[in-house]
Amino acid sequence: MAKKKSKIQTPTWLLEGEAESKTKKKTEKTFKVRRCPKCNSDEISVVIGEVGVWECRECKWKGKDVNEDELTEDEFMIYLDEKGEEVA
């Protein structure tokens, strides 16, 4: 799913989520999702033996500047759902 910075309408659930997080900030759990800056895949992993270097399994990109998304628990669940990842 490509992330676009255009002025498309923010989904209602997202607006609601923002309002909610202001009232109960303390308990909000966030999950960090790292993505490849080249192909936006989350199939990236750290390179063993190289500190802070990531490698993309999809396009073989390698570097330190990965994209980071911070998701709330709800967003993270949606993310996993879209990803279709099976919980082992």
By the criterion CB under 5 A, which residues form the site for Zn ion? 36, 38-39, 41, 56, 58-59, 61
Position 49: which residue type? G
Closer CB to Zn ion, residue 43 or residue 85? 43
Phi-psi domain of 84 (left: phi exceeds 0; alpha: psi -120 through 50; beta: other) = left
Residue placing its CB nearer to Zn ion in the complex, 12 or 82: 82
Nearer to Zn ion, 59 or 71 (CB): 59
Contacts of 28 (CB under 8 A, 6+ apart): 21, 72, 73
Smallest gap from Cβ 82 to Zn ion, in A, equals: 18
